[in-house]
Each structure stands twice: as structure tokens, then as C-alpha cells.
Amino acid sequence: MVSMSGMASAEPLRWASDSQSGAPFVFHDPADQSKLTGFETDLIQALAKQIGREQVFVQNDWDGLIPGLQRGLYDVVIDGIEITPEHRAAVDFSTPYYRTFEQIAVRKDAVGLDSVDALRGHVVGTLKDTLSQRLLEKAGGISLRSYTDETNAYSDLVNGRLDAVMLDAPIALYYAVPDPRLKLVGAPIGGLSYGIALAKGRDVLRAQLDAGLEAMRRDGELRRILARWNMWTPEMASFTGDTTTEAIAPTAWQHWLLATRPAATWRDRLARYASFLPLIGRAALMTVAVSACAMVLAVAWGLVLALARRYGRWPFRMAATGYIEIVRGTPLLIQILFIFYGLPSVGIRLDPFVAGVVALGLNYAAYEAENYRAGLQSVPHGQMEAALALNMTQFQAVRHVVVPQAFRFVVPVMTNDFISLLKDSSLVSVITLTELTQAYVRLSTTYYDYFGTGLLIGCAYLLLGLPFVRLARMAERRLSVGVAQARR
């Protein structure tokens, strides 16, 4: 066993999770969106204290958690990750900190769908890449719907798109039990364990985590945390050997129920929407910051590409053409993931904000380059000849005569492109930036309110885009006069 003494380290324990995964794992407190909570949040904080290290949270999208771990962006991942042979092939795990089972939920009026065998011939929802999905696929004869978010699965069950949902018992406890339209049925199905994931080869850290978890089991800290979240079960008592009968109120569970209860009146609903505004405001600022920085990069790099393609020697023309065709021919989302997760393989690690700006800027530069090329071609050739006749070099003619005139043609298009970029910035949410789209997902999945929250986020995008729409119209009016005069 690793000694707990002398473990104090100057390096904080950087742990990652997806705070959009929802309750009860790691999520933002519905009563205070600036506060991170969840039973895994409490567990990792207690564990970091046990091993004598400060802890730092790193937000990441669920699909990017393991790739980020393998790229060394953080030390550990804790987010209800099941310990399976497939996962063990990619990462190492601590000893399990929670054991549970799968649970079926159906609508209140449903009968007879209380086992996997009884689900044959019915439409069943679950989360992708989980034990539940594997069990349902193995059973056969079930029309399976895989989701990335449990709230969507339960919403579809309520709306009649599914006949049943089978998910981990803790998820069912927090999303199906409080809903009066749903009920849990059947006996526990299967068995699974959650573990803390580490990159391969972090044996010292894994030994420290195992020692810390063992200490938390011995002193009852693990039981107290789980009891507060209403997750201490006979199965966990058997697993840990902790048979203490101390009564601990499920305060965290009760807080969750109180904070997420449906708004009884319109006044309550409006008050809840008002509480969203600080988060939406911060997300809007992030959206504008990422978009503005990316557009500056796109304008500058796009101009270089256009000039290289129009006036450069053949190697530069070929390089610029190749760049434009490759970037325009591949999805922006792939480019974002490549820059954030792929470049660390060659030693280039970018901050999420920088990675988002670079990805959006380089992508839009390809489109801006084509806009500029069209603008350069629209300048009458006589303008260049006249400049050369005045003893200007080609560089001086392009810089002082051609580019300023071409710029007048493309300004309205650039403004429209910025509005498009503003909306495409939603894609950077996959690399942990909390912009408007991620704020929408977080709020809507917390309160099951996609309608009102969607209207708020839609209004925010509209308010951000409207000034630029008017700017584009003003530019078109002013420049159309100048262009017409120039052509006369």
C-alpha cells in the first residue's frame, strides 16, 4: 500500500468531466449555475484531500474525455465511466468507487415491460456505448434507440416515441423517479462498476488514488458522500464492507428535487429564466470573442491566400489552391477536433480558446480567399496597367490601387460571413468552450425545458447578429454608390 504521508505535491490533480452529463455525476447546481456539484465532484474533492493535492476541474465534452486523457490534457477522468474490458484496453482504472445495475423505466400506464425479455418487439432507449446498450443488443428483437443524453431518452419516453428506457440505476433515480409520468419496473439487471480513468503508465498516481479510496472506505467518507446523494445502497454496503447504520439525510438529493421541480406559475417560470441570464451573458461574450478573433485571422490569412493565388508564382498558386480546396472539402467539426486533439500528437498543445479561434479562422480564411479573388478579378485590368504606366512596381500597384478597390466589393460579403461564423462558433463547444450553444444544452437538460430556454438562446444569437446585419446593409448602400461612380 502506498503511504499517505508525504504525498503533498505542488502539482494539482487535474480532473476532467463533462458537466453536461447531468445528475448525479458532475453538473452545475440548478440553483446556482456557477457552482459545480454532483457526487463525483464531492468524491474527487475528498480524494484529492486524501492524497494531499489541490484539485483543478477541466471541462470537456463526453466524447473527448478519453482522447484528452491520452493527450495529457489532464490527469484523470471521472464521469460515470464503466470499467469494461473495452475501456481497459484504452486506459487504466482505479479500484471501483461505485457499483450499481441497470434499471428499466416506463410510462405510468405501461404494464408487462419489466424485463429485458419482455422488451422484445418494443422500442427502447438507452445511452450509447453502455452496458445497457450491449445487453439490449444481445437480447435481440428490440428496436434500439441510442442517445448521447439521458434527458432526451426520458423525454422521448414521456412523449410516446419510446416504450421503455433502460439506464444505470443512479440516472433513473434522478430523472425517472421524480417524474410523475414515469415509473421504475422490474428487478436490477446486470452489474457494473464506475472507476476513475487514468492514462496508461500512470502507476504511481493510480496507487495513490487506490490508497485514497481505500482510506475513504475505512473512515466512512465514501458512505457519507453517497448517502447525501441518496445513492448508498445495500450493494455498496456489501462491496465496501461498511455496515454502519448511521442515519444521514439525503440533503443533496433533496436540494436537486427542490431546484428542478417544475415551475408552478408563470411568475416562477419567469424568475427561473431570469436566473439564466448571467450564464447566457457570459456565453454570449465568449461567442463574440471567439468569432471576432477568428474573423480577424480569417480576413488576414484569406487575403494572403487570394494574393498568392492571383499574383503569386506557380508554387504559391498551387499551395494556396490546395489549401483552399482541402479546407473547403472537409467538415469544420473535423478540423476543430483535429487541431485540439490531433496536434498534441506532434507536440502542439493549444488552449481551447486559441484552438477554437485558429480552427474557425483557418476554415473561414479559405472562403474569404475566394471572396477576395472575386473582388480582385472585378477590378478593371486597366487600373493595373495605369498604375504600372506611372512607374509603380507590381507590388505597389496591387497594394495601393487594386486591393483598395477590390476591398470595396467584398465588404458586404465579409459582413455576411461574420454572421455565419457567429453561428458556426457553436461547434467549438466540443472543445470545452462554454458559448451559447453549450449554455443551451446545459440549461435545457437540467430543467427539461427545451422550449423556453431555446427561445432565450435564439434571442441572444439574434441580438448578436442584428447589428452586423444592419452593418452589412449600410456597407452595401454606401459602397454601391462608390462602385457605381467608379464604373462611370
- Residue 209 located in a structural domain: yes
On whether both 200 and 176 belong to a single domain, the answer is no
Average pLDDT over residues 171-181: 93
Q: How many domains does the chain have?
A: 3
The pLDDT value recorded for residue 6 is 44
Sign of the CA dihedral running 449, 22, 356, 319: negative
- The per-residue pLDDT for 245 is 79
Q: Is there a single domain that holds both residue 369 and residue 296?
A: yes
Burial 2-12 (b: 16+ CB within 10 A, else e): eeeeeeeeeee
Task: Judge if 345 and 469 occupy the same domain.
Answer: yes
H or E segment at 173? helix 169-175
Are 317 and 308 a contacting pair, CB within 8 Å? yes
Domain closes at, from 155, 172, 192: 192
> Domain range for residue 172?
99-192
Residue 5 confidence (pLDDT) above 60: no
Residue 88 shares a structural domain with residue 103: no
Could you give the residue ranges of the DSSP H alpha helices within 183-233? Answer: 203-218, 221-228
Mean pLDDT of 194-223: 94
Residues 6+ away with beta carbon under 8 Å from 362: 297, 298, 301, 327, 335
Which of 246, 264, 282 is a domain's end point? 264
Beta strands 123-127 and 164-168 are parallel
**C-alpha span between 212 and 49 (Å, rounded):** 9
Is residue 321, in this structure, part of any structural domain at all?
yes
CA distances (Å), origin 210, targets 47, 53, 207:
10, 15, 5
Q: Are residues 205 and 352 in the same domain?
A: no
- Give the lowest-confidence range in 170-184, 396-410, 454-468: 396-410
46-103 per-position pLDDT tens digit: 999 999 999 999 888 787 788 888 878 899 999 999 998 888 998 999 999 999 999 9
pLDDT digits (tens, 9 = 90+) for 413-438: 888 888 889 889 888 877 777 788 88
Q: Is the pLDDT assigned to residue 117 strictly greater than 70? A: yes
Specify if 129 maps to a domain.
Answer: yes
**Digit-coded pLDDT (tens) for 338-370:** 998 888 778 888 888 999 999 999 999 999 999
Statement to judge: residues 80 and 107 lie in one domain: no
Q: What is the pLDDT of residue 483?
A: 55
Q: Answer yes or no: pTM beyond 0.85.
A: no
| CATH for 183 | 3.40.190.10
Look at residue 4 and tell me if it is in a domain. Answer: no
Same domain, 202 and 343: no
Q: Are residues 343 and 410 in the same domain?
A: yes
Is 119 inside a domain boundary? yes
